[in-house]
Amino acid sequence: MKDQELQELVERGSSQGDRDSRLYHSVFKALRTETDYVLPADFAERVIAAVKARYSSRDMVWFTGGVFLIIIALVVAVMVTGFSFTFGAFTFLSGYPGLVIFGVAFILALQWIDRRWIRKSVL
Amino acid sequence: MTDDRSLVSRVIGGEEGAFRTLIRQHGCLVAHMVGRLVKEDADRQEICQDVFLKVYEKLPEFGFQSKLSTWIATIAYRHAINHVRKHRMQFEELPDDARWTERFVDYEDPGELLEAKDETARVQQFIDLLPAQYKAILTLYHLDSMSYAEISEVMNMPEGTVKNYLFRARNLLKEKLNKYFEKQEYERPGIAGTR
């Protein structure tokens, strides 16, 4: 009998009773035995913690980079245009304190709704 | 078992519990592959963790062109094989001639062979000596019950090659075990002679 046929026979659980069959039985038994490596019980928690750490540090890098670039752009714009700081068009707001308070409260409310109700896309 | 499509969409939606379920469902599959291919215990857990980090990162791109388990096994295989390539191992290359087979069958790792508790442990030591591709195929087929088609997808090789490697790997193990018993019979005729 060819070796391939013998493997198929032993895999189906049959045996010829010869030496090669017995050897293949041992080989198949070992192949079906679990490896010695088992994941720790808290493995899932460790992975989730690693995902959170990775994404929070990535967000921080983007945020810091963004703030840095805005400051650079601001400095360059002021230097190039010789811009002088005035309230300009916004001076009219001094007559409408209620409007300013409403604007600030509205933006804060939007931020709160965003954090509270919009589903997070990262764990 | 949770439906794969619903599980994946829940993970993408940011549900922590869904990702926990995914890890628990496929943890064994990843541990089998990494445990079989990577010898250093300290590296195994780190590689398993990297596999699931990659799964999480790439999940939005997974379009169910294959089963979720096949896709995760592919990531696990690539991570493990990259590690193996960095740490060159004995019999890393695939056999292409009779001399290789002879060298493999005759090779003895004096440190490990003395420690085997039983025949199964002995064969498992022989499995450790096989090239990584052989070990991966044996693991996916025998421990994870994958079909030839699934293994071919995981390992990116034709089904015929998978069947051939599977046959050759089992044959090598049988020959090596035979050689081991022959040596035992020669050295201690009364003990190994029962086989």
Tens digits of residue pLDDT in B43-79: 999 999 999 999 999 999 998 999 999 999 999 999 9
- Cβ-contact B18, B29 below 8 angstroms: no
Nearest to B23 by CA among B99, B97, B75: B75
Cα distance between residue A100 and residue A114, in whole Å = 21
For residue A19, the chain B residue with the least C-alpha distance is B195
Inter-chain touch B195–A28, beta carbons under 8 Å? no
d(CA B28, CA B30): 5
In chain A, residues with a C-beta closer than 8 Å to the C-beta of B12 are: 121
**Domain ranges within chain A, ordered by starting residue:** 3-32, 86-123
pTM across the whole model:
0.76
| Residue at A7: amino acid letter | Q
Nearest-10 crossing angle of helices A19-32, A3-11: 50
Which residue of B43, B170, B180, B181 is the best one to mutate when testing the A interface, meaning the one whose CB has the most A CBs within 10 A? B170
Distance from CA of A105 to the nearest CA of B (A): 29
Q: Which of A44, A54, A122 comes nearest B14 by C-beta?
A: A122
Of B23, B52, B124, the CB nearest to A30: B124
Mutate: best of A8, A21, A25, A35, partner B, most B CBs <10 A:
A35
**How do residues A66-120 score in pLDDT, each as one tens digit?**
999 999 999 999 888 887 777 777 777 778 889 889 999 999 999 888 877 765 5
Choice among A2-11, A64-73, B135-144 with the minimum mean pLDDT: A2-11
Is B72 exposed, middle or buried (CB count within 10 Å of its CB: 0-12, 13-18, 19+)? buried
Give the closest residue to B28 by CA, choosing from B163, B162, B167, B146. Answer: B146
Tokens of A73: 């752009």
Max Cα distance, chain B (Å)? 66
Give the pLDDT band of residue B109 (cuts 50, 70, 90): low
